[in-house]
Amino acid sequence: MRKLPMKQVDVFTDGPLAGNPLAVILDGKGLTSEEMQAVAREMNLSETTFVLPSTTPEAHYKVRIFTPLKEIPFAGHPSIGTAHALVEEGRIRVKQQLTTVRQEVGIGVLPIEIEQLSGGRHVITMTQGAPRLGRTITDLTDLAQALGIPADEIGPDQLPVQVSSTGLDQLMVPLRSLQRVAALVPDYGRLKEVEKRLGVSGCLIFALKTFRPEAHVHARFFAPSVGVFEDPATGSAAGALGAYLVAHKVFGPENPVSFNIEQGLEMQRPSLITVTVHHAEGMPSLVKVGGRSVTVISGELTL
């Protein structure tokens, strides 16, 4: 029998039992891909990560990321939560106010910045993949039916439904009403078919109004095509949303743009995600996503 050290970390929150839970297997050496997938099913969280030695001298460590259904090449809260766990384990040494390490993931090597706060706390910020805006969706009939809302509730202020990516293609869906976002009860079967037809890994539904004064965007994320019906805090989609909002000049000419997303309130797992977008003449060029994390479980997985 093998005993694998692990942690469960709540990401994008400064308190336990909120944010997005992540299982971190601190030593994935010797596990096959099939075993990793089975462990992710057992954890039954939106993602489980496996820490491995890097395969390139450019990176300090490698992370493989699995949803309950499949491996994905990149994700936000797994990157930040894994770095948090490695700091706690002493495998990332934070010796100054700002420490930078580089993680290897499926889309390449990406920087992780760790800002040391008082009392041993820290904020972790990841640089995401190159921002890219994809096609706009003009026929909203199937999407509206999958979300259970009239099509005219979608697209305030001429904001389009559009594919956006900082490593994963995801669908950005603006709604006119904060209350409509909060009350959504999607038809997950229909939404899964919409995702598959559009080739996206989830839909971020958002409003430019919030419940919390420190937030600027209220969001919910659904990804039934990868086995995640609703996610309480989604770093990859937050970055993709940042690129989308900057490209559509929602925040004006300020550079860089920095804003907060509230997510998870409908799941009783409130989270706060900070997004920073650098741009060149309004086109997003660099996206960072950050937040706090809390460890809630430390132990061993027995296989």
d(CA 21, CA 291): 14
The three-state secondary structure class of 173 is strand
Q: How many helices and strands, by DSSP H and E, does the chain display? A: 6, 18
Q: Which of 34, 42, 47, 254 is catalytic?
A: 47
Residue 193 backbone class (left: φ over 0; alpha: ψ -120 to 50; beta: rest): alpha
98 φ/ψ angles, rounded to the nearest 5 degrees:
-130, 120
Residue 47 annotated to the active site: yes
R_g of the chain, CA atoms, integer Å: 18
With CA atoms as reference, report the closest residue to 291 among 4, 18, 29: 18
In angstroms, how far is CA 183 from the centroid of its own chain?
Answer: 22
- Cα distances from 279 to residues 103, 172, 284, in angstroms, run 24, 19, 4
Nearest CA among 41, 53, 51 for reference residue 86: 51
The identity of residue 223, as a single letter, is A
CA dist 68 and 45 (Å) reads: 7
Cross-strand bridge partners of residue 113: 100, 125
Catalytically annotated residues: 47
